[in-house]
Amino acid sequence: MKKVFLYLAMASIALTSCRKDEDVVEPEVSIDTQNSYDDQAAAKYLETHYFDAKGNVKDFVETDTVNVKLSDLNPVTLPSGVIYVMRPDAQPVDGTPIRPYDVLSLMSNSVTYIANSVDNKVSFGSAFTFRNTLAGSGIPELDPAYFYVKESVLNAATQDVAKQRSYYEIEGLREALEKFQAYNIPDESDYNLQGLIIVPSRAAFARDPHFNYSGISFRNRSFIFNFQVYKSVYSATPR
């Protein structure tokens, strides 16, 4: 009988220990540290991925002697920390400029991550799909609010925070997309992804409140957009 009680006690301690481990939440790092993590993780991502024949981003292995790492495709880093990579031979010949108020048709496979340090190694983790029109409808997303939110949405908001553009828009995405051009092709066209944009958390939603796009918090989250702009319909003024 004593052995039974001993086993029960040990099992209870083990279960309690497991619960405590599961409840542990990593403390939030400082903003400067998070910014540094974002930049380091982005650099590592460029070193460990490549474009396939359709422009999809794939994992790069060191034994690969055929494909070219993203880091070798002249990535451009903007002052905001946003990085963009134009895929060679995948840009429109007579493309349309992308302007701040335009109506976009955007095909993308976009994932959001948290950059953190594990065993003193920084990388992106906690991946969550933000948008994937390739695996979904196969039709580009029309006029996404995270690029430009309509005036009518802001005017209809009942809370002050929801009246701000920053509540909806990923500023770093718009900043980088304006470096590309739109194809102006039908929605039914087969995709040929034209590039990649990495938006660090400070150029996304940082630690600010935001619209509930996906049912999770985007606090401290970076975004990676693997995309093609099918159309960009010009608008000279806010709409």
DSSP string, 130-170: EEETTTTTSSPEES-TTT---HHHHHH-SSGGGGSGGGT--
Phi, psi of 74 (to 5 degrees): 55, 55
Express each pLDDT in 19-29 by its tens digit. Answer: 443 444 568 99
Confidence of residue 151 (pLDDT cuts 50, 70, 90): very high
Please tell me whether the overall predicted TM-score, pTM, comes out greater than 0.85 for this model.
yes
Express each pLDDT in 188-217 by its tens digit. Answer: 999 999 999 999 999 999 999 999 999 999
- Report, in angstroms and rounded to the nearest whole number, the Rg of the chain calculated over CA atoms: 22
Confidence of residue 222 (pLDDT cuts 50, 70, 90): very high
pLDDT recorded at residue 30: 97
